[in-house]
Amino acid sequence: MQLKTRLSYIAASLLCVMHLGAENYVNVQFIGYDEDSGRTTVLTPQVEVNYDYGADYTVNMSFGVDGISGASPTFYDAASGASAGSRGTTTQQNVRYGDVSYDDVRKFVAASVVKRLESRDEVTVGLNYSSESDYYAGEISAEYLHYLDSSKNSAVSLGAAYQKNAVLVHCYNGESQCDAASGSSQRFDIDVINAELGFTQVIDKNSLVKVSLFGGREEGFLSNPYMNVVRNYNTLPHITEERKPDTRTSYGATLWYARSVTEKLALIGDYRYYHDDWEIDSHTVNLEANYNLNSRWGVGAGVRYYTQSAAKFYSGKKEFFTGQKYASSDRRMSDFDSFTYKFSAEYAFSKVLQLNTGVTYYNQPDWFDAIYYTIGVKRSF
Amino acid sequence: MHYFMIAAILFLGGCSHIGNVKPWEKGTLAKESMQNNRGNRLLTKFEKHVYFSKEASKGGGGVAGGGCGCN
C-alpha cells in the first residue's frame, strides 16, 4: 500500500513537471500606439525567445524597435516657432503653450539567465540596453530567490539593478549647462539604482500572493531637455528649460494576488504605493480577469486606476515661476488621475501555436487619451 | 505606507492554513491565466513603458521573476 502510494506520488510529480516545466518558445508581437488621434504614434515590432537548457537554466532574450513620431506639449516663444529650443526673453503675447514635434527610433535588447541551484533556489541575472537618438540606457540586474520550505510554497527574493543612462542635451540658445561656445550637444549621465525585497506565498492550490518593498535612487541630469518653463512672466518673460533636482530617492510597496476562481476563470489584483522626495505620492490599483472559453479560446479584461500628487517644484502656470532653483511645467509632474481599460483574446491553433490580440485604452481626464493595439503569435518548440 | 504593511501582515497572518500545497498540486498556479497579460512578457514590458512615459512613478514590478515554486 505504501509502495502504491509512493508510486502514485512519483507519477503525479512527473505529470506536474511535464505540465509546469520548461517552455521553449518564440514570441513575436506588433504593437501600434496612437495618442489623441495622431499626437504621438508608436509602431513597435518585438521578438522574444525563451529557451530552457535542461531543468537548471532558462535563457530569455528579447529585442525590438519603436518608431516614434509625434509632439510633446510645452512652453515656447511664438516669435521663433514651435520647438523645444524656442527659448529666450520674449513678450507676454509670444509665450505659447502647445505641441512641439519630435521623431525618434528606439531600439532595445534584453537578456536574462535563470540558474536553478540544487536546492531549486533561483539566481537571475539580466542585461538591458536601449538607444534613441539622444538617449542611451544600459542596465544590469540580479536577483536571488530562496524557497523557505521543501514544498516551495514560501519564497523570499532580493533583487537589485544598476542603470547607466546618458542623455544628449542640445545647447538651445547656449543656455544653462550647455556649452555656448560650441553650440553642440552635451552628454549628461544619470545613474539609477533600484532594489526590491519580495515575499511570495502559495496560499492554496488556487491562489498566490506576493508582497514586496522597493526603493530607488537616481542621480544626474533628471530634467527633460524638451520641457520648458516661463520665468518672470509678469515683468520680463523668459522661456528657459525646466530644471529638476539632480537626485531623487523613492520607495514603495506592492501587494499582488492571483486566484483561480473556477477552472476557467482567474482573477489577478495588485496595489502599489509609491513615494519619493520630490513629494510625489501615488496609488495604483490594477485588476485583471482571464477566462478560458474552451481549449482553444481565451479572453481577458483589465482595469487600472492610478492617482498621483504633484512634485514640489511643479506648476503649470506661466505666471508662477520667478527665481526658484527648481521649476517644471511637465504635466507628468502634476497631480492627476489615469484610467486604463484593456481587452484581449487568445486563440490556440494547436498545442504549439497561439495567436493573441488585444486593445488597451489609456486616459488622463481633461488631458489626453491613447489607444494601443497588439497582435502577436507564439510558437513553442 | 504603515497601513499597507499592517494590512499585509494581517492578511498573511490570518491565513494560518496557507502553504500546505504539494508540488504536484500546482498545476493551476502555473497556468498562464494566473499571470498578468497571460504571462506575455513583451506586452507587460510595453505596458510598463507606457506608464513610465506618462506617469511620475516607477518601481515595484520586480527586477526578475516570481516564485510560485512551479519549476
A100 pLDDT band (50/70/90 cuts)? confident
Instruction: Please give the pLDDT value at position A39.
Output: 77
Closest residue in chain B to residue A291, using alpha carbons only = B33
Give A87 or B41, the one with higher predicted confidence.
B41
Domain containing residue B34? 29-55
Helices (H) and strands (E) in chain A, counts: 1, 19
User: Residue A55 and residue B71: Cβ atoms within 8 Å?
Assistant: yes
Residue B51 domain flag: yes
Q: Do A126 and B45 touch (CB under 8 A)?
A: no
Residues of chain A above pLDDT 70, percent: 89
Shortest CB distance from A255 goes to which of B8, B38, B66?
B8
The answer as to whether B65 is a domain residue is no
Give the pLDDT confidence score for residue A114 in this predicted structure: 95
Give the pLDDT band (50/70/90) at residue A18.
Answer: very low
Asked if pLDDT for residue B69 goes beyond 60, the answer is no
For residues A107 and A19, the model is more confident at: A107
Give A329's pLDDT tier (boundaries 50, 70, 90).
Answer: very high
Whether A214 and B59 lie within 8 Å, measured CB to CB: yes
Chain A hits for B47, Cβ within 8 Å: 360
Q: Is residue B12 part of a domain?
A: no
What DSSP string describes B12-59?
HHT-TTTT---GGG-TTTTSGGGSGGGG-HHHHHHHHHHHHHHSS---
Q: How far is A237 from chain B (nearest CA, A)?
A: 28
pLDDT for the residue A12: 40
CA distance B42 to chain A (A): 7
Per-residue pLDDT at A207: 95
- Minimal Cβ distance to B63: which of A141, A152, A300: A141
pTM: 0.87
Residue A321: CA count within 13 A, CB half-sphere: 26
In a domain, B68, yes or no: no
Flag whether B60 is in a domain.
no
Residue B39: inside a domain, yes or no? yes
Which domains, from first to last, does chain A contain? 23-380 (2.40.160.40)
ipTM (interface pTM): 0.88
Q: Is residue B64 part of a domain?
A: no
Q: In this predicted structure, what is the pLDDT of residue A116?
A: 94
pLDDT at A245 exceeding the cut of 80:
yes
Give the range among A83-87, A99-103, A160-164, B35-39 with minimum mean pLDDT. A83-87
Banded pLDDT at A10 (limits 50, 70, 90): very low
- Dump pLDDT digits (tens) for A166-219: 988 876 555 555 665 655 677 889 999 999 999 999 999 999 999 999 999 999
**Tens digit of pLDDT for each residue in A275-313?**
999 999 999 999 999 999 999 999 999 999 999 999 999
How many domains does chain B fold into?
1
Q: Which of A142, A202, A253 sits opposite B21 (nearest CB)?
A: A202
Alpha-carbon distance values, B52 to A44, A87, A176, B47, B58 (Å): 17, 27, 27, 9, 6
pLDDT value of residue B4: 63
**Cβ pairs A/B, distance under 8 A:** 244
Which distant-in-sequence residues (6+ apart) come within 8 Å of A18 by Cβ?
A: none
Please check whether residue B36 lies inside any domain of the structure: yes
Provide the shortest C-alpha distance from residue B12 to chain A (in Å): 9
Bridge partners (DSSP) listed for residue A165: A137, A190
State pLDDT tens for residues A345-373. 999 999 999 999 999 999 999 888 999 99
pLDDT at B67: 47
